Structure 1
Amino acid sequence: MRTIDNIIEHRGGAGVSGPVTRGSIIARLERMPTNAMQIRARVLIGLATFFDGFDVIAIAATLPILIQKWHLTPWEIGFLIASGSVGQLFGAFLFPWLAERHGRVRAIAWSSGIIGVTSILCGFAPTFAAFAALRVVQGFGLGGELPVAATYINEISRAHGRGRFVLLYEIVFPIGLLASNALGAWVVPRFGWEAMYFIGGLPLVLFFVLRRLVPESPRWLAERERLGDADNAMTVFERSAKGPLAPVAHAAEFDELANRHPKRRMKDLFGPAYLKRTLAVAMLWITCGFIQYGLSTWLPTIYRTLYHAPLQLALNLAVAASVLGVVGSLVCALLVDKVGRKPIINVSFVLCAVSLALAGVCHAMSVYVVATFSAFALGFLASGFITAYVYTPELYPTSIRALGCGVGGAWLKVAAIFAPAIVSKTMVGGNLDVAFYILAAVPFAAAIVVHFLGIETKGKVLEQLEA
């Protein structure tokens, strides 16, 4: 596999002439077909996102064992689930901040290194306290990787087909969730809980290789006035395209578009230009965190403790829910450029709310009935959740795009901190139906907020969406 330096060294034939400007970089991105380097970037950064999903949900497969091993109380169980979210909350601010200053690819590499090292150390944790502390540190990487990766993949995509391109990458996150559940159902009973965290250490490899194999975002480089570097990064993508490229068009118009708005700062996320968008993003990500962490991480434990299902059955039912999450994500990827971002989010969240409410109504029935409604709820959630990763970066300009995604991710982590405690409290009180009703209210409210405050972004160049 050739490194970026090799490709730049043999850069001839890109078919580009004239001065390098922000507008010309945007024009070159918009004329560029899907190419081998984009696929490489999607695969390698997708691996980071895959293991983000894997490590986030690994606690679900190992929690029933850890409860017995360390004799955890309900409060300690809730704290253990939420501990990773505490670190993720800080990571959601730290790594987007680093990405705005030092580059998207570098921030993703750093976050992957933290994820890998701490996952391996979790496998050696001797006590509950040590394990929880490592989960907090790992959370820094987990919270920072996703928003920065979503920002990068959006920025190397052109307007036409951007939703499908981004979501076919983002699908690796629910696949990571599925792999974690499926592998956990097979690995944990045979090799012990520690094996899950040793497998989760593989992102450490990306820390060493990612920057040599994937170019930096040309949009970010141009925004930082590093036009020579932006030109080189664009050349890497252009040289990997099959066949001749179309002539660069509309560079002057893109220059005018890029220079029309001032560079934004973090405070602008909450200013008049972007406040409505930020509120819609907040509700969108709160919903994703509340349901994902309030339900997914608890399902094997709910099946085992409340319905007295054997461990293997409890894990298998959780795998089934993850399968529907992947199916929902695939359907979304095929439809998002046709019907738009807002309709996908709103319909998915309303159907998720209905499924959760039905789980509450039928909670006294068999474990299979509750598992079926829970699986459908997670499938519908996954469709809206994955759309958040293409929708959120589209709402903000390049100068604050990673920060905007980070703030969205921070709301997810805030919800993730409180959701497990709510489920834990209602479970202890024997009110599982109340937990499902509370969970159902959140996506329903989010659908209303996104409908009235969000904007549609389908088919528009990122710079056209600046307020």
Structure 2
Amino acid sequence: MGNTVVQHGGTATTVADAGAAAHAVTKGSIIARIERLPANAMQVRARILIGAATFFDGFDVIVIAATLPLLIQKWGLTPGQVGFLIASGSIGQLIGAFLFPSLAERYGRVRSIAWSSGIIGLTSIACGFAPSFAVFVALRIVQGLGLGGELPVAATYINEITRAHGRGRFVLLYEIVFPIGLLASNALGAWIVPRFGWEAMYFIGGVPLVLFFLLRTLVPESPRWLGERGRMHEAGDALAAFEATVKQPLPPLGNLAEFEAMASRHPKRRRLDLIGPAYLKRTIAVALLWMTCGVLQYGLSTWLPTIYKTVYHAPLQLALNLAVAASVLGVLGSLTCALIVDKVGRKPVINWSFVLCAVSLVFAGVFVAQSVYVVATFCALALGFMACGFITAYVYTPELYPTSIRAFGCGLGGAWLKIAAIFAPALVGKTLMGGNMNVAFYALAVVPVVAAVAVHFMGIETKGKVLEQLEV
């Protein structure tokens, strides 16, 4: 029977495909239809709106760095209180890293992202009105629920709506909004905080509240998740929403039998399988990968403006500007990674970026007695290389797990980051501010080396493969 082509609002599909979409949606056909999807306007919309949530996740998670010097002065905080303040958000993020992926597995990816965005925005605004240190810390813990939950679920969703070919580039060009959010937070903080006060930064961070109302009406749910839940009609509708924005004619569905076999080859996994024989090595590699990012992102970058100001006696404006420079390298490193990850592969990008990060930290320790500019240069290089590995984790981690436990697997990775983020600021801060800065830099250099070794020997290469091919 021939496949007669019909037009639907500028989209060409075949009668056979339309019938399949309406009457025979299966797990195999869901994979097949995603794999034939070219870039389209609905994917762009999803990437922009969910990218906005991820942007403000990055913005709000690091805003404490720009505001910390004034908060210390405002409330007369001791070093212990400063460490607790930095870690407080991570306490909530640790809970959120389990809570929202669990909600995503049960209620859907988009709904979970919307809920987390609402919490992020509402509590950020409330932080700007906090009357005391205790209230501010409590709000940061609550905000952490959303900050910890949004990233792993968003990464899961973007992976699930993307075909294998070019998935790394597509996902990482979306994920780059997170380091851009970090950069924007540092850059705006350097300009806004000295002029308008620390409160203004938290009011800006309230923008994600808007996404709570918009996401569910403007972005389709993950067809893969809907298919896994047996909601085939809704999966077909979600796929149709993506297909309806494709400008050129869609090719006929091919290799359906292969995709059906791929979809039914493995049993539905449970959360305990993450630490079972099938996935234990992957989970260990993921844990060390995310812990490294947590130690360096929260244990080092959060402290940098304060270190430059108190140890090297740099003016506040210069200290903030030097932190911005580190964020710029983070964005440039992430962009470079996005452009090469589909050609080079996930593992080489992670391993080389972490090794170069370690080398930069060693040099920071060697030249710690030099000027603030020398130390800031090596710290910026270290964070730039770290950003390459960090952003790759967002495409690599979801690829390692099946749909039934993908969001929770990503959340578990994020939880290790948050555990590191809870303890690293106090430990690193005590060493750095205690006059042993070279020791702190050498110790920090060991962390990415350990992660690189783990990923090399325990991880698998995932580039160019359909997500279901990677299941075991």
Q: TM-score range by the shorter chain?
A: over 0.9
Query: How much does 1:428 deviate?
Result: 3.6
Structure 2 equivalent of residue 443 of structure 1: 448
Query: How much does 1:14 deviate?
Result: 4.0
From 50, 59, 73, the counterpart of 2:78: 73
Counterparts of 2:128 and 2:360, CA distance in 1: 36
Counterparts of 2:86 and 2:300, CA distance in 1: 11
Q: Does 1:264 align with 2:269?
A: yes
Structure 2 equivalent of residue 60 of structure 1: 65
Structure 2 equivalent of residue 273 of structure 1: 278
Structure-to-structure mapping, 1:384-395, within 5 angstroms: 384-395=389-400
Instruction: List structure 1 runs of 4+ shifted beyond 6 angstroms.
Output: 9-12
Instruction: Give the conservation status (yes or no) of the 8 Å contact 2:101–2:153.
Output: yes
Query: How much does 1:243 deviate?
Result: 1.1
From 282, 286, 290, the counterpart of 1:285: 290
Structure 1 equivalent of residue 310 of structure 2: 305
**TM-score normalised to structure 1 length:** 0.97
From 324, 331, 338, the counterpart of 1:319: 324
Query: How much does 1:259 deviate?
Result: 0.8
Q: Please tell me the residue identity of whatever aligns with 1:381.
A: M
Structure-to-structure mapping, 1:206-245, within 5 angstroms: 206-245=211-250
From 463, 466, 469, the counterpart of 1:464: 469
From 356, 365, 371, the counterpart of 2:361: 356
Could you tell me which runs of 5 or more consecutive residues in structure 1 were left unpaired when the two chains were aligned. 1-8
Query: How much does 1:256 deviate?
Result: 1.1
Counterparts of 1:309 and 1:45, CA distance in 2: 38
Could you tell me which runs of 5 or more consecutive residues in structure 2 were left unpaired when the two chains were aligned. 1-7
Judged with a 3 Å threshold, the aligned counterparts in structure 2 of structure 1 residues 231 and 10 are, in CA distance, closer, same or farther, namely farther
Q: Please tell me the residue identity of whatever aligns with 2:368.
A: H
Counterparts of 1:436 and 1:68, CA distance in 2: 27
Q: Please tell me the residue identity of whatever aligns with 1:92.
A: A
Q: Please tell me the residue identity of whatever aligns with 2:428.
A: V
What secondary structure does 2:447 align onto? helix
Structure 2 equivalent of residue 4 of structure 1: none
From 103, 106, 112, the counterpart of 2:117: 112
Counterparts of 1:460 and 1:162, CA distance in 2: 9
Matched length: 459
What secondary structure does 1:96 align onto? helix
Structure 2 equivalent of residue 380 of structure 1: 385
Structure-to-structure mapping, 1:188-207, within 5 angstroms: 188-207=193-212
Query: How much does 1:11 deviate?
Result: 11
Structure 2 equivalent of residue 418 of structure 1: 423
Counterparts of 2:256 and 2:417, CA distance in 1: 38
Alpha-carbon RMSD across the aligned residues, in angstroms, is: 1.1
What secondary structure does 1:219 align onto? helix
Structure 1 equivalent of residue 175 of structure 2: 170
Counterparts of 2:454 and 2:298, CA distance in 1: 21
Instruction: Give the conservation status (yes or no) of the 8 Å contact 1:57–1:177.
Output: yes
Structure 2 equivalent of residue 253 of structure 1: 258
Judged with a 3 Å threshold, the aligned counterparts in structure 2 of structure 1 residues 302 and 12 are, in CA distance, closer, same or farther, namely closer
Structure-to-structure mapping, 1:321-340, within 5 angstroms: 321-340=326-345
Structure 2 equivalent of residue 148 of structure 1: 153
Q: Please tell me the residue identity of whatever aligns with 1:116.
A: G
